[in-house]
Structure 1
Amino acid sequence: MAGNSDFKAVKAAQWETRKTAYQATWKTDLMGACGADPLYCCFSVFCPWCASYDVRKKALYNDMSRYVCCNGDCPCSGRMKEQECPEFCLCMEAFWCFTQSVASTRWMLQDEMHIANTKCDNCLIGTMIFFQYLSCLCDIAACLSGSQEIAELANLVDLIAQFLWVSVCACMQTQHKVQIEERNKNPNVARPPANPYMAPAPQAIPPPGGYPQGYNAQGAPPNFQAAPPQGYPMGAPGAGYPQPPPQQGYPPQQGYPPQQGYPPQGYPPQQGYPPQGYPQQQQMH
């Protein structure tokens, strides 16, 4: 039960991140997906399982070594021996868990490119799900009551629900395919993952008297940079890396200054010094 609670907490954090942190938009919304690629939309209508398989594989950059069942969105993910035969496992997922397969691909693309649904997209998806539940309730009511009128109503609601399901899913898979093509053309749309589970950085505790004037809240001196700029080779500071300030009252000079009283002024000696014929230093015996 504890593991199930942790799984639910992780999923809740993911949903909250998608609602609040993602600002990008789909290349095309669900209303315009059919017009963006009508041939693929028709393909998704008549063979939705094949389309789900195709879109997921393209979302993984055709690298099936990265495949995990339902993209890690279900408790069984990673426990189905996917790495032994990922192609077969993806086929089974697309056929037996079609709804989850389409949803997992959608969430994968949203997490990769920080994409948020439009209000129209959410309205269409919500309407499709609502009629699926309504159809189920009408079938239960018709079964319990035995009424012919309720049974006919249930059949009508079921037809509406199936029409919405087929059309919205086809547009959704076409939307995914168009977005993947946009990602392949512009790799910069893929962004680092927004990790909602990362613990916050530890806060520094100030000393009783507070930090000296000019020090920041982490207790570091002004203009302090803890690490060299990104991409800078470790071990050797250079341009952009802060250097220690010179000591007060002593200007920075290249080399060591001559000691006081050391002749002649202007060391090292100028050309012509010492005078010609000046006796050399004699060695002591």
Structure 2
Amino acid sequence: MSCLFCFSGDKLSPEERKGKYGDVWGQYADNDEAFKVKLCGAPCAEPCCWIGSMVCWPCGQYKLRYMVLNHQEPGSGWKNYTCCQGLFGGCCCIQPGNLGEESCPQLCMCLEGCCCAGMAVSASQGVIMNQYNLGLDSDDVRLIRCNNCLQFLAIFASCLNICIDFDGDDAIVSLLNLIADVTFCCVSGCMTARTYHEVKIREKEAPENFRMQR
């Protein structure tokens, strides 16, 4: 996680808000409200959730999405579930809301957690951010920039590996992929723990609202 601090925590630039994922996160960039705990503080705030979500990712995302949906609308169960909550749109014939979510929401969520790990946690976090108009903190911005850098390095190394044959090229590509995987695992765990913590704290702050609706 310390590598995140090599990147600027300033607000996203207009260029960084472009593209499919830039559009998704750019909409939160100017919101002033913040999560109760920063991204890098999530492991300390919810250590069991952080570790548990990394040990069994699909189970963690299944529980988190159910928790988030029923925080948004208490007692709704899986009624409001769609693939990635429609946050990232669709592709060709794969469109959220038309993938059998209504008849088999739990199965669809399990598949989402297994096949679209990053999108799954981002969708759960997005529900809470939309509900409370939460913005991106400096850790979020560093994460976006760190991921962009890692993706660029991985693509560059892969292209270099194809074009130039030299000793240790496979090892370099493998190392970059390992760094990217470890970073993804740790950061996604932080996102899960932070979203879980946010829901838990907000329900403690206004418990009567959730009891009445349930």
The TM tier, using the shorter chain, reads: 0.7 to 0.9
Q: Deviations over 1:182-226 (max 9, x none)?
A: 2222349x9xxxxxxxxxxxxxxxxxxxxxxxxxxxxxxxxxxxx
1:66 to 77, 80, 85: 80
| Alignment partner, residue 171 of structure 2 | 152
Given that 1:132 and 1:158 are in contact with CA atoms closer than 8 Å, whether structure 2 keeps it comes out as no
| Alignment partner, residue 5 of structure 2 | none
* Greater RCO, 1 or 2 (C-alpha within 8 Å, sep 6+): 2
| Alignment partner, residue 109 of structure 1 | 128
Q: CA RMSD in A?
A: 2.7
Structure 2 stretches lacking a partner, 5+ long: 1-17, 71-75, 210-214
Distance 1:109 1:152, change over 3 A: same
Given that 1:128 and 1:168 are in contact with CA atoms closer than 8 Å, whether structure 2 keeps it comes out as no
Paired residues for 1:1-285 under 5 Å: 15=25, 17-20=27-30, 22-61=31-70, 63-73=77-87, 74-75=89-90, 76-187=95-206
| Alignment partner, residue 7 of structure 2 | none
Between Structure 1 and Structure 2, whose CA radius of gyration is higher? 1
Given that 1:25 and 1:116 are in contact with CA atoms closer than 8 Å, whether structure 2 keeps it comes out as yes
Shift of 1:158: 1.7
Structure 1 stretches lacking a partner, 5+ long: 1-7, 191-285
Shift of 1:150: 2.5
More helix by share: 2
TM-score between both structures, scaled by the size of structure 1? 0.57
Given that 1:37 and 1:178 are in contact with CA atoms closer than 8 Å, whether structure 2 keeps it comes out as yes
